[in-house]
């Protein structure tokens, strides 16, 4: 098949969505298809630019290329997924979140601050509600994205999970004396909450953090808390680590801690499962809750220092249980058929 993967992006910015789009194209080629990525530039401010970009995407014609039919278009991000095509499938990575659940979010909300914000929000919602159903099929990246789509737009979509990059490199080593928390250091990932949880533990639990800080302020706040709570000896701050180091850190930890706020998907959960490790997450963490089965493949705690501390203690004192949960996590990963072959099959059928 000739397949176009269509997404939106901000020039010069590369993140998870860009990596996912590239991986999808690669998986399509591996499966023997001709695949190409189209990235339409998107600038979402001032808000009036958003309808312009929606219209621009609606005006593009991807039905054929030099007289040859394009068999399938796979739309990923707003507003590019609105580009029309008779054989379009949407694999929704992102709606425009500040028009939905982040509308009045204290940190993320932006549309809300503009006089024309409410009108634009309505335009975005109408475009999504009216035009997403044009697709032959709609999938999302995760359960939490499906939930939002149902809640806000009344559209049902099956989540279609993608494996993390380098999935085959993860392995199970021997569980050591530390929890592992790999993530960008930022408020939404809640490193600070984990440090506070650590301080509430009865056991002398230890945590290794890996990942770069979004800004120096985040890091400073964590360092302050560590000193203030006197847990210096129980915390290791690794910063940015290589893929190889990361795999080793997963393989040799006792368990993985991943308690973000409303994560869309979260590769950390999957990487932990691939490494046969239990995951501690929180009731409001979003994506991880689609994978972590409480007390079977990990622990789902309340987002409080006390509750997180208890979860860490529980795994620390019962290492056999921790290891059994880890194995159950690995088995669950296999059951979920999280593979590019599966993704490609679904998106092209």
By CB under 8 A, name the binding residues for another protein. 2, 4, 10-13, 34, 36, 38-41, 43, 49, 52-53, 55-57, 59-66, 68, 70
**Nearer to another protein among residue 60 and residue 293 (C-beta):** 60
Handedness of CA 246, 249, 255, 261 (dihedral sign): negative
- Spell out the residues 6+ positions from residue 310 whose beta carbon is closer than 8 angstroms to its own: 200, 301
279 backbone dihedrals φ, ψ, rounded to 5°: -120, 130
HSE at residue 295, side-chain half, CA atoms within 13 A, is 1
Quote the least distance from Cβ 282 to another protein, whole Å. 29
DSSP 8-state class, residue 293: P
Q: Do 138 and 90 form a contact (C-beta atoms < 8 A)?
A: yes
**Nearer to another protein among residue 53 and residue 330 (C-beta):** 53
- Spell out the residues 6+ positions from residue 128 whose beta carbon is closer than 8 angstroms to its own: 78, 95, 152, 153, 155
**For strand 137-140 and strand 2-9, is the pairing parallel, antiparallel, or unpaired?**
unpaired
How far is residue 337's CA from residue 346's CA, in Å, rounded to a whole number?
12
Quote the least distance from Cβ 322 to another protein, whole Å. 41
**Nearer to another protein among residue 98 and residue 275 (C-beta):** 98
Quote the least distance from Cβ 122 to another protein, whole Å. 19
**Nearer to another protein among residue 27 and residue 257 (C-beta):** 27
SS3 content of the chain, % helix, strand, coil (to 5): 45, 20, 35
Quote the least distance from Cβ 39 to another protein, whole Å. 8
Residues 77, 83, 87, 90, Cα dihedral to 10°: 20
How far is residue 221's CA from residue 109's CA, in Å, rounded to a whole number?
23
Quote the least distance from Cβ 67 to another protein, whole Å. 8
**For strand 255-257 and strand 179-182, is the pairing parallel, antiparallel, or unpaired?**
parallel
**Nearer to another protein among residue 38 and residue 119 (C-beta):** 38
Strand partners, 6: 38, 75
Quote the least distance from Cβ 136 to another protein, whole Å. 19
User: How many other CB atoms sit within 10 Å of the CB of residue 217?
Assistant: 10
**Nearer to another protein among residue 69 and residue 228 (C-beta):** 69
Give, to the nearest 10 degrees, the angle between helix 319-335 and helix 305-317: 100
**Nearer to another protein among residue 42 and residue 250 (C-beta):** 42
Quote the least distance from Cβ 111 to another protein, whole Å. 16
**Nearer to another protein among residue 112 and residue 293 (C-beta):** 112
Q: Do 41 and 18 form a contact (C-beta atoms < 8 A)?
A: no
User: Which token pair is 4?
Assistant: 């176009």
Quote the least distance from Cβ 216 to another protein, whole Å. 19
Quote the least distance from Cβ 84 to another protein, whole Å. 11
**Nearer to another protein among residue 49 and residue 151 (C-beta):** 49
């Amino acid at each position: 098949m000739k397949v176009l993967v269509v997404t939106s992006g901000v020039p010069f910015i590369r993140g998870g969505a860009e990596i996912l789009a590239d991986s999808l194209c690669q998986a399509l080629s591996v499966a023997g298809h001709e695949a190409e990525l189209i990235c339409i530039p998107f600038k979402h401010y001032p808000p009036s630019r958003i309808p312009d970009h929606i219209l621009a995407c609606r005006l593009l014609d991807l039905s054929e290329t030099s007289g040859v039919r394009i068999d399938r278009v796979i739309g990923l991000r707003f507003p590019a997924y609105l580009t029309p095509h008779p054989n379009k499938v949407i694999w929704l990575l992102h709606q425009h979140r500040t028009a939905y659940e982040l509308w009045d979010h204290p940190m993320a909300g932006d549309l809300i601050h503009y006089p024309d914000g409410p009108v634009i929000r309505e335009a975005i919602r109408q475009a999504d509600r009216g035009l997403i159903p044009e697709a032959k099929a709609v999938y999302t990246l995760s359960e939490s994205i499906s939930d939002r789509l149902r809640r806000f737009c009344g559209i049902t979509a099956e989540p279609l999970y993608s494996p993390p990059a380098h999935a085959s490199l993860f392995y199970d080593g021997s569980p050591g004396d530390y929890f592992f928390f790999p993530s960008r250091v930022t408020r939404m990932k809640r490193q600070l909450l984990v440090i506070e949880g650590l301080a509430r533990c009865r056991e002398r639990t230890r945590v290794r953090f890996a990942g770069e800080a979004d800004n120096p302020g985040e890091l400073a706040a964590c360092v302050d808390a560590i000193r203030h709570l006197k847990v210096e000896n129980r915390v290791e701050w690794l910063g940015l680590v290589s893929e190889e180091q990361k795999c080793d850190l997963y393989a040799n930890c006792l368990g993985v801690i991943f308690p973000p706020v409303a994560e869309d998907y979260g590769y950390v959960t999957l990487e932990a499962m691939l490494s046969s490790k239990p995951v501690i997450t929180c009731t409001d963490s979003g994506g991880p809750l689609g994978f972590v089965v409480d007390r079977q493949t990990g622990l789902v705690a309340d987002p409080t220092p006390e509750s997180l501390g208890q979860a860490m203690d529980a795994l620390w004192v019962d290492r056999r249980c921790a290891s059994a949960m880890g194995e159950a996590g690995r088995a669950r990963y296999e059951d979920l058929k999280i593979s590019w072959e599966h993704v490609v099959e679904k998106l092209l059928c």
